[in-house]
Amino acid sequence: MTAKMRSWLVVPADEPAKLEKVAGLDADVILLDLSCVAEGAKADARRSAAEFLSTRPAPPPGLPGARRWVRINPLGSAHWREDLVAVMPGVPDGIVLPRATGAADITQLAAEIYELEQKTPAELNSVRIVPQVGDTPAGALAINELASDPHPRVSGLSWDADALMASGGMRPFGKGVRRWPAPFAQVRNAVVLAARAGGLFALETASNVTSNADIFRNIATEARAAGFDAMVARHPAQVKPIGEIFAPTPEERERAATIVAAFDLQPEALVVSVDRHAADRGELARARALLAEG
């Protein structure tokens, strides 16, 4: 990530009261959700999302303020093209694609975005894509394909535990905090590893814990330790702890600066030694992105 995008607050686009409140919150990203909307409310939700985008422009690069992303309906539904047509005039920062099943999905979506960029105020190739790659068993099996040669518009990978649970016929167990069956760990790990391999950021699924701050902080801390760069917030109360937990530590900033300095001294090197450990150009890219964050 080249800008601070740690907390992603998801807001159903068919709930005007929630849309009115998000402007005063400190989320790094407001994720307008069209995919969760009931079938009969899709058109109204598109209009609400379009109005939100047109009346709340994104802050200029480098300045504070929430980025505006939209989660459209999946490809193959009757709605995804209409979603794009409705929201692209408002120039969203990016599109989240649920139920992504492979590189062909990204190519199709990117082509549609490119066509619409030419008809809107958006700069060409400016609108980014984050596919949700673990929403279905088929999508989970295609994660490595998406990471092997990511489309230039793709900036990160995410997954949705609830969607995978529903489509895969699985269910959580345990009381209180949900515990996931083994396939969930496989998908989650694959998202992080694929993101790292492809030079992308990894976006953690939302947690259902909204009322116990200590438990939620533990969940977010574990996600950070697992390698995720950001996390979806389901409730405004989750935004602040996500921002704090996923922020780079002083030690991480110091190491990042050391990696950048080492490559500055050896600009042709593919690998350099930093604190007795090897650092490659993938780590260099992450170091530069970390230092560029606000």
E-strand stretches of the chain: 7-12, 29-33, 67-71, 94-97, 128-131, 156-158, 201-204, 230-233, 271-274, 277-280
What pLDDT score does 197 carry? 87
Residue spans of the chain under pLDDT 70: 1-3, 23, 60-64, 172-179, 294
What pLDDT score does 28 carry? 93
Q: For residue 43, report the phi and psi dihedrals to the nearest 5 degrees.
A: -65, -45
What pLDDT score does 281 carry? 85
Report DSSP state, residue 224. Answer: H
The rounded Cα 227 to chain-centroid distance in angstroms is 14
Report DSSP state, residue 248. Answer: P
Are residues 39 and 267 in contact, defined by beta-carbon separation less than 8 angstroms?
no
SS3 annotation, 30-85: EEEECCCCCHHHHHHHHHHHHHHHHHCCCCCCCCCCCEEEEECCCCCCCCHHHHHH
Per-residue pLDDT reduced to its tens digit, 48-64:
999 999 998 877 666 66
Per-residue pLDDT reduced to its tens digit, 227-250:
999 999 999 999 999 999 999 887
d(C-alpha 186, C-alpha 262), whole Å: 35
- Report the mean per-residue pLDDT for the chain: 88
What pLDDT score does 253 carry? 82
Are residues 239 and 9 in contact, defined by beta-carbon separation less than 8 angstroms?
yes
Sort 240 into a burial class: Cβ within 10 Å, 0-12 / 13-18 / 19+.
Answer: middle
Q: Which residue has the tokens 């090897």?
A: 278
The tokens describing 169, both together, are 């016929």
d(C-alpha 260, C-alpha 283), whole Å: 9
